[in-house]
Structure 1
């Protein structure tokens, strides 16, 4: 952040003689006496942001001290929507816009934009049923935030386990004959922080079913979905959590009984 030049005086102390700010070169005429130069440093971190897809960020590069905040906003182009941030972003902030981060190290983030109404099609063609497996999606691409999740004839009989902690833009099930199992958990279950699936737009369930994993020994799994738009459930669709509870042994007047919990 600068420099200071001192010269030694007859009293045996140092006097400030020259100083400069923001330069790494000290250009001065030597005073011809004992001198001492001090370089003044400050800790700062480079914070950068770039865009992926059709859109822009309002800041591309800044320097910040530790403890500062780096704030950046993403603006989509016409026909596109902001999906998420990737890079040096905590999980809890990936869909924040603007994004505000406390600086403790260098920051590099990417704003991801997708085509408005972009759809991710389930095929179930992978070696497992996980939504996090790119091979289970058309074109081998795992869904992003704000994409619509679509099930149809292409993977009609392929069950899915939804383990992606993203916020889809919508959800459509038509001509789908299988089951979607959600891995959402109770907050105190100790199984991670995937406690709710947020679907920002509409849900259209015309076929297939939703469920959650079996609770064998306690409250761990539950079906917890929040819908930001409209929700339609057709006669061939179902939300089925029957018989997924657990049995707990208890004593009633000295008699052992089993208590079923859903």
Structure 2
């Protein structure tokens, strides 16, 4: 790979007769916050697990970058941490696991948890638990961070903060891929949006480019009309890459 951080080539995966990805080829670039969106049941979590290496494709290849202590970090939708540990101890524990030279205080400050460093993990709110997951994901400075619905069920202010942290992480020449149903936040924050529907990338590009391509006023409108079209016929993959190139 040249400037691409992660690439999928001819990847297919399914559960029985249900296709999650069908001969998909794409590259995901460093320095971008890429949002994976799609209707319920489209297989976004499974697609993220394929990207992170937690599942193997039925066909095709997923090429990940070489990292230091770790190449890809994956944060599930409901992260869980060992009770009895403080926030600082939890980050230090993961640093020991991957043998990474990590400053827990710096990671906690970066995600906004510096003031909760001595709080035990079982006393954290849902939003703080997600932020601790983000700090844990940064241990070892991985070039790819994969986040599954990191703002699900959170109040708008906390969700906006997490989107802001995720966007900031991508400025470190890192690829951040997240799945989300919060299309307003995705439209405002993401550099690239990929709509997964019927096993294909039904839309793929920068938010502004997708609005121009579909003639929609909002990303939610573009999402809805594309999913409706997918239900009626096969999907034509639109590959409008960030920067406007078709």
Please give the TM-score of this superposition, normalised by the length of structure 1. 0.20
The structure whose residues are more often strand, as a share, is 1
Please give the TM-score of this superposition, normalised by the length of structure 2. 0.21
Larger Rg, first or second structure (1 or 2): 1
The structure whose residues are more often helix, as a share, is 2
Larger relative contact order, structure 1 or 2 (CA cutoff 8 Å, min sep 6): 2
